[in-house]
Amino acid sequence: MERFEGRTLEVSYQDLKRTVPGLAGWACSECDEVEFDAASALRYAKAGDEMIEGSSPG
């Protein structure tokens, strides 16, 4: 695992997509699996939740 900072990644669900800039954590150099640090994990999850909640009818 290699440390990264300032990376922009995309969170997606079905046809919805949102970019989340400024993420930090660790990435596997062989498979590109990502593990976020605590603050980035919360921001990434919040972006996904807001995206899905905003797409709900009614």
pLDDT value of position 57: 62
Give the count of alpha carbons within 13 A of 43, CB side only: 18
Q: How far is CA 43 from CA 21, 29, 36, 40, in A?
A: 9, 23, 10, 5
pLDDT value of position 44: 98
Residues of the chain with pLDDT under 70: 56-58
pTM of the model: 0.85
pLDDT value of position 20: 98
pLDDT value of position 54: 81
Domains of the chain: 2-55 (3.10.20)
